[in-house]
Amino acid sequence: MCGIVGYTGLRQAGPVLLDGLRRLEYRGYDSAGIALVTDDGDLFVEKRAGKVANLEDALAGDPPSAGIGLGHTRWATHGRPSDLNAHPHSDCTGRITVVHNGIVENFRELRGELAAHGHSLKSETDTEVVAHLVEDAYKGDLADAVRAALRRLEGAYALVVMHRDEPERLVGARFNAPLIVGVGDGESFLASDAAAIVAYTKKVIFLADGDVADLLPGKVTITDRDGNAIQRVIDIIPWSAEAAEKGGYPHFMLKEIHEQPTALTSAMAGRVRGETICLEELDPIRERLADIDRVEMIACGTAYFASLVGSSLMQDWLGVSARSTVASEFRYSPPPIDARTLVVAVTQSGETADTIAAARLAGDRGALVVAVTNTVGSAITREAHASVFLQAGPEVAVAATKTFVAQVLTLVLLTAEVSRQLGRRTLEQEHELVKELRLLPAKAARAIELSSVAEEMATRYADAVGFMYIGRAFGYPAALEGALKIKEISYLHAEGYAAGELKHGPISLLDADVPLVAVATRSVVYEKLISNLMEGQARDARVIAVATEGDENIAKLATDVLWVPDTAEPLSPILAVIPLQLFAYHMAVARGRDVDQPRNLAKSVTVE
C-alpha cells in the first residue's frame, strides 16, 4: 500500500532514502517525503503530493548531509493526497517523526483524546496520532516510547519512528503490514520490501506481527511490544538490485512480460524432475493432504483469476468439490470448513489484507492452509501450514503479468502433485503433463514473438470506447485477466465474461465502437466459442481472436488474430494471456497512460 524506508549508518541518508523510495513507488504514489536528522542536529522534513519526482524537485538534488533518516511513499487512505497529509508526520515538539503504512482504526478516538490533552494535530491522517502518542510516552528512550504508543493502537501498521535527540536510532514496528530489517556492515535499514534496500544489503530479517525493531548502525535488537527480547533469523534475498530495474525496457511491465519464459522456468525449478512433479514444500503436510475432501481457493484480482484455473483443475483431477472465492467476500459467506478442507491462498505479494483475513478465518476453523505466493517471509506464509513460492523474481509494475503465469503454473504443479498423492491420476498422465511443461517456456517466448502485431493493432483500437472479453472453460480466466489489464492501464472499460453468458445480456453493448476479444484457442469448447465470436461479428463488433497457430478457420472470422502455440488445455491460459497483456500494454502506451503506475492503484493492498 505505502512504501517505507529507513536508514542509519555512515552513508549519506538522503540519497539512500530517495533511491529506496523510487524502488518502492509502485506501492503508492500519492505523495512522498523524507525526514533526516542532519549532521547539525536538526530535524529536516520535506514532503510533496504526487510522485517521488516532485519530492526530488523540491530537494533540488541536494538533501542536507545526514547519516540517519526515514522516507515514505503514500497510497492515501485517511486524508486526501496533499503536501500536508504526506508523511513523515511530527509531534508538537518537532523532534519526533513517523512514517506509517496501514490504518490506525481507533485514530478518531485517539485524536480527540490527544487534542483534549493540548496536542495540536495538523493533518487529516490517522498516522499523525502515532507521533503524538510517542511524544507523550517519551522519557528518554525511543524504543520504550514506541512500545507504549503501540499498545494504544488498533488496526494495522508498519511504522518507523525517529527522534532528533537520539540521532543514530530508528525504531520500527509491524502489525498486519510488511516491514523488514536490512542488516548491513556498520549500517541498518528498515523497508516495506527488499527492493528498497537490496542494492545495499541482501541480509534481511522479516519482522513478524507484534515485533519492534530497535536499530543502531550495524546493530539490531528485536522485542515484542512489552519489551521482551525476540530472536529472528537473517534471510538472504535471492535476487539482485538489477532484477528490480528496467534493464533497457521503457516500462517495467514490458520487461516483466518478456521475463515470462524465465519466470516459468524458475517456477518449475526443483519441482519438475525427470518425468515427475515434486513439491517438497508439501512434505510437512502430506498426512493431512491425504485426508482432504474439499478445496477452497481465496485470492484477489489477478491472483483470483489464476485461482480459477487452479480450482477447476483441482475439481477435475482430484474429484473433490473445489471452488475459488474472491477473498474480500469469503468471510461474509464462509463455506463449511473443517480439518479436511484444503484452503489455497493465492497472493503475489503475500500481504493482501483481504486474502490474509480469509486465510486466517479458514485456519481458525481448522482447515489445512497452503499459501501460493511470490514473497518469501510475507504475512501469508505465517497464516499457512505450507507455502509454495512462485520463484518469479520481483514484479515492480503495478499490473501483474509474470506472476499471473507463474501462479497458474504453480497451481497446476500443486494440483498434479496432490492428485498423484491421492491416487487420482496415473503416472502416465503425469509424464504427459511434464512433457508439455518442459516445452512451455519456449512456447511462451514464441507467444511473445507472435504478439509483435499487438503494437500496430493497438493504434487501430485506441479509439474504442470499451471492450468485451470472452472465454469458456480455461479460456475464461484468461479473458477476465485480459480485460483487467485493459481497465487497469488504459482506463477503458473492459468486461470479462463467460462466453456463454454473452447472449444473456452484455451482447447489447457490442457495436462498431466496442470490440469483442475472444479467447478461442484449441479446446473442447472451441466450436461453441466460435459461435459466440460470430454472434459478436453479426453485431458489427470488430473481433479480435486469440487463437492457436495453424487455425485457418479463425482468420476468416476475426478482424484480427493474436496467435499462440498449442499446448495442453490446463496450460492454455498461460499462453493465451501473453498477447492480451501485450495488447493492453500497447493500448495504454497509445493512449498516453502511465503504464507502470496507473492512477488510483497500488501494487500491494494491505487494507481491507
Q: Which three cell numbers stand for residue 507?
A: 451482447
Q: Which amino acid is at 99?
A: V
Backbone φ and ψ for 241, nearest 5 degrees, come out as -60, -35
The answer to whether the beta carbons of residues 34 and 45 sit under 8 Å apart is yes
Closer residue to ligand F6R (CB): 88 or 482: 482
Determine, following the binding rule CB under 6 A, whether residue 178 of this chain makes contact with ligand F6R: no
593 three-class SS:
coil
Determine, following the binding rule CB under 6 A, whether residue 303 of this chain makes contact with ligand F6R: yes
* Residue 38, CA atoms < 13 Å, CB-side half-sphere: 10
Q: Which amino acid is at 461?
A: Y
Among the residue ranges 24-32, 274-282, 344-352, 516-524, the one whose residues contact ligand F6R (CB under 6 A):
344-352
The answer to whether the beta carbons of residues 355 and 329 sit under 8 Å apart is no
Which residues are part of the catalytic machinery?
A: 2, 603
Among the residue ranges 94-102, 298-306, 518-526, 541-549, the one whose residues contact ligand F6R (CB under 6 A):
298-306
Determine, following the binding rule CB under 6 A, whether residue 383 of this chain makes contact with ligand F6R: no
Closer residue to ligand F6R (CB): 160 or 253: 253
Among 298, 359, 605, 607, binds ligand F6R (CB under 6 A): 605
CB of 478 to ligand F6R, least distance (A): 14
Q: Which amino acid is at 602?
A: A
Backbone φ and ψ for 93, nearest 5 degrees, come out as -80, -15
Among 308, 400, 444, 464, binds ligand F6R (CB under 6 A): 400
Alpha-carbon distances, residue 126 vs 32, 73, 87, 301 (angstroms): 16, 16, 11, 27
Among the residue ranges 45-53, 98-106, 347-355, 538-546, the one whose residues contact ligand F6R (CB under 6 A):
347-355
Nearest Cα to Cα of residue 591 among 398, 461, 468: 461
Determine, following the binding rule CB under 6 A, whether residue 607 of this chain makes contact with ligand F6R: no
574 three-class SS:
helix
Q: The dihedral of CA 560, 581, 496, 316: what is its sign?
A: positive
Show the CA angle centred on residue 375, arms to residues 187 and 228, nearest 5°. 55
CA-based max dimension of the chain:
78
Among 31, 38, 349, 523, binds ligand F6R (CB under 6 A): 349
Among 347, 391, 490, 532, binds ligand F6R (CB under 6 A): 347
Among the residue ranges 47-55, 190-198, 295-303, 333-341, the one whose residues contact ligand F6R (CB under 6 A):
295-303
Among 43, 103, 300, 544, binds ligand F6R (CB under 6 A): 300
Alpha-carbon distances, residue 475 vs 28, 482, 499, 569, 570 (angstroms): 32, 10, 9, 9, 9
The answer to whether the beta carbons of residues 169 and 163 sit under 8 Å apart is yes
Closer residue to ligand F6R (CB): 337 or 484: 484
The answer to whether the beta carbons of residues 422 and 407 sit under 8 Å apart is no
Determine, following the binding rule CB under 6 A, whether residue 356 of this chain makes contact with ligand F6R: no
Count of residues touching ligand F6R (by CB under 6 A): 15
Among 77, 90, 348, 581, binds ligand F6R (CB under 6 A): 348
Determine, following the binding rule CB under 6 A, whether residue 301 of this chain makes contact with ligand F6R: yes
Among 90, 223, 355, 572, binds ligand F6R (CB under 6 A): 355
CB of 401 to ligand F6R, least distance (A): 8
Among 176, 201, 260, 352, binds ligand F6R (CB under 6 A): 352
CB of 399 to ligand F6R, least distance (A): 4
Rounded to whole angstroms, how far apart are CA atoms 11 and 19? 13
Determine, following the binding rule CB under 6 A, whether residue 399 of this chain makes contact with ligand F6R: yes
Contacts of 531 (CB under 8 A, 6+ apart): none
The answer to whether the beta carbons of residues 96 and 103 sit under 8 Å apart is no
Contacts of 79 (CB under 8 A, 6+ apart): 85, 123, 124, 125, 126
Among 302, 307, 419, 581, binds ligand F6R (CB under 6 A): 302
Closer residue to ligand F6R (CB): 281 or 488: 488
Using CB under 6 A, which residues numbered 101 to 160 contact ligand F6R? none
Using CB under 6 A, which residues numbered 488 to 547 contact ligand F6R? 488
- Whose CB is nearest to ligand F6R? 301
DSSP-assigned letter for residue 177: S
Q: Which three cell numbers stand for residue 31?
A: 505523495
Closer residue to ligand F6R (CB): 239 or 511: 239
Q: Which residues contact ligand F6R (rule: CB under 6 A)? A: 300-303, 347-349, 352, 355, 399-400, 484, 488, 604-605
